Amino acid sequence: MCTVSYISTGGQRFITSNRDEHISRPLALEPKEETIGSMKVLFPKDPKAGGTWFAINENGSVAVLLNGGFVGHRPTGDYARSRGLVLLDIIASENPIALLQEMKLSRIEPFTLVLYTSELLEFRWDGHQKYFRPMDRDKNHIWSSATLYKDEVIEHRQKLFKKFVEGNPQVAAYDVVDFHSNNHDDFENGFIIDRESGLKTFSVTQAILDKDSGIVMHHSDLLNDIDFEVPFSHGQLTI
């Protein structure tokens, strides 16, 4: 929930996320389908709060969470609900964007949400105000958590991503996972981190949306060296 990339290539979309957490936090459960309300949702579950940082619904919508809004913040601990549960509320909706517009977020810790539906949206909550930023879903994008990376580091990571995309005009899903699984010679600020503070990259999760073959979630548990490949039952997929 600290690095997210979005790549559009031909009839495919790849949305990929690194989950960086303190080593004291439990590992996520393997991705499984659950029905929330009337919506089928596929996600790896955080056993601590029951939420997630990455989820796909049966309509092909994808929601991915990053910690923090625009800048780093000091957690107060006095929060009404976990952000991972908020994400599940959003992705379980028939209209996630409309729900975001209506949802009350007071006493929710700041976060950034990358939301792919019929459009691509960057949403930020800074603890006081909502910010909606439509993105071009036919271009490639990368986001880094404001709580973990300084502005100059975020800019450097954007340059690495641009170089990767430009060097791979026929990029495949596994190429993107490999890119996210590389520390790029920097264990403090690379895509795979292992900091003295105890912060470590736990996993890399990817949604593969293909107009012909449908939806697949790839989840790499880096600490246990286990890969999960989960096809998702769904309705009509529009890419």
202 has a pLDDT exceeding 60: yes
235 has a pLDDT exceeding 60: no
Average pLDDT of the chain is 90
Confidence (pLDDT) at 73: 63
| DSSP type of residue 160 | H
State the alpha helices, DSSP H only, in 16-123: 83-91, 96-102
Q: Using one digit for the tens of pLDDT, what is the confidence trace for 6-63?
A: 999 988 999 999 988 778 888 889 999 999 999 999 999 998 889 999 999 999 999 9
- Over residues 181-208, mean pLDDT: 84
Domain boundaries, the chain: 3-232
Concatenated DSSP letters of 56-86: EETTS-EEEEEE-SSS-----S--SS-HHHH
Q: Using one digit for the tens of pLDDT, what is the confidence trace for 123-154?
A: 999 999 999 999 999 999 999 987 777 888 88
Q: Which residues contact 95 (CB under 8 A, 6 or more apart)?
A: none
Confidence (pLDDT) at 163: 93
Q: Which residues contact 43 (CB under 8 A, 6 or more apart)?
A: 31, 32, 34, 52, 54, 55, 56, 88, 91
Confidence (pLDDT) at 185: 74
Share of the chain above pLDDT 90, in %: 64
Task: Report residue 238's pLDDT band, with 50, 70 and 90 as the boundaries.
Answer: low
Confidence (pLDDT) at 22: 79
Q: Using one digit for the tens of pLDDT, what is the confidence trace for 67-84?
A: 888 766 676 777 879 999
Q: Using one digit for the tens of pLDDT, what is the confidence trace for 101-112?
A: 999 999 999 999
Given the candidates 3.20.20.70, 3.10.50.40, 2.160.10.10, 3.60.60.10, the CATH classification of the domain at 3-232 is 3.60.60.10
Tokens 């936090």 identify what position?
A: 25
Which pTM value belongs to this model?
Answer: 0.93
Confidence (pLDDT) at 237: 63
